[in-house]
Amino acid sequence: MLSCLLLTALVGCLAVAGSPNANAFIDLNLPGWSAVLPDPFSITFDENGHATYVQNGLPTVHTLTGTLEFDPTLSVGSVPVRVLTYALPEPVVAGTVIILEPVVDGGGTTDVLRFTDASGKLTGVTDPATTIMIYYSDLPELGEVTQLADTGFPSNLGAGTVIIGPTEIGPEGNNHFDYIPGAPYPANNEYHGISDVPITPPVPEPASLTLLLGALAAFGLAGRRRTRETA
């Protein structure tokens, strides 16, 4: 009889541990971990404020726009810095994730994700109403086009909860990373960052294009006249 009771209790514990709500009571202390499971999201974002996300395993795609806001995580007295900030749809575990550059490209830190809220907390769970993700990228090298995230890394990079995250994938100029705190979506949140944003040359406006073609035609006629006079 006692064996049956113990077996029943063990099965019950396993059922609870495997239930969708179980992770809501597990504090893995991983930055970005969903604090309100089962309600995960998967977000794709880049260095210029473009982002989309899906939530709860549903097919609906939501659009997010990242903006430059003052960094709330810097200590009092620090020089105010505007950084690329994305408002997240739900509270998460606060903290910092360091994204590494491949060794073949030099290694070291290339990007940083920081999960926080309006109060600037870097540990514990964020405020649901003001949860944000800050995307920092290294300063642009000579000749590179500056992206919104290219503000360099925070002066207090080691503050609060800090972990080493994934390494970038792909060649320089076309790379990305996937940060998965604990379990892939839809078991928990997933962050797909596009580290380098391809730059498309601007298309000339119709009026500008007409002026350009007219100028080229004028130069062509002038060249033909000089050729005839020389002949």
The reply to whether 177 falls in a domain is yes
The reply to whether 82 falls in a domain is yes
The reply to whether 29 falls in a domain is yes
pLDDT in tens, 157-210: 999 999 999 999 987 667 899 999 988 999 999 999 998 765 444 444 444 444
pLDDT in tens, 196-224: 765 444 444 444 444 444 544 554 545 55
Domain boundaries, position 166:
19-194
The reply to whether 1 falls in a domain is no
- The confidence score (pLDDT) of residue 1 equals 42
pLDDT in tens, 2-58: 344 333 333 333 333 333 333 444 456 899 999 877 789 999 999 999 999 999 989
The reply to whether 206 falls in a domain is no
The reply to whether 231 falls in a domain is no
Of the two residues 212 and 92, the one the predictor is more confident about is 92
Number of folded domains in the chain? 1
Average pLDDT (145-156) is 94
The reply to whether 44 falls in a domain is yes
Of the two residues 84 and 143, the one the predictor is more confident about is 84
SS (H, E, C) the chain: CHHHHHHHHHHHHHHHHCCCCHHHHCCCCCCCCECCCCCCEEEEEECCCEEEEEECCCCCCEEEECEEEECCCCCCCCCCCEEEEEECCCCEECEEEEEECCHHHCCCEEEEEEEECCCCCCCCECCCCCCEEEEEECCCCCCCCCCCCCCCCCCCCCCCCEEEEEECECCCCCCEEEECCCCCCCCCCEEEEECCCCCCCCCCCHHHHHHHHHHHHHHHHHHHHHHHHHC
Of 125-129, 148-152, 227-231, the poorest mean pLDDT is in 227-231
pLDDT in tens, 111-124: 999 999 999 999 99
The reply to whether 36 falls in a domain is yes
